[in-house]
Amino acid sequence: MIWRVFLTDVLECTRCKGRMEIAAALTSGHAIERVLGHLGLPLDAPKLHPTRPPPQTEMSFGDNPSGFHPDPPPPEDFAA
């Protein structure tokens, strides 16, 4: 699936471009904690930041929004 989405072969070695093999698939929490601890990586997932509101709420949609000046109409001899 990663190949279809990102066009990246995750089993290709970045150094020698050879083919890697999956050594293990960890499914138990205890085994994952042991491996992460051995590698010196944090055991907790990173904290997520709250999402920001969409930018449309920051824009003025009134009849005369501040700072908005529409483009002038094209000249009469303008050929589209």
Residue 37 has which token pair? 């601890």
Residues 6+ apart with CB under 8 A from 9: 3
| Rounded Cα gap, residues 72 and 17, in angstroms | 57
Task: Give 73's pLDDT tier (boundaries 50, 70, 90).
Answer: confident
Position 62 scores a pLDDT of 61
Task: Read off the pLDDT of residues 9-59 as tens digits, 9 standing for 90 and up.
Answer: 888 998 999 999 988 899 999 999 999 999 999 999 888 888 877 766 555
What's the average model confidence in pLDDT over 73-80?
Answer: 75
Cα torsion for 30, 33, 34, 38, to the nearest 10°?
Answer: 180
Cα torsion for 27, 31, 37, 41, to the nearest 10°?
Answer: -10
| Rounded Cα gap, residues 74 and 65, in angstroms | 23
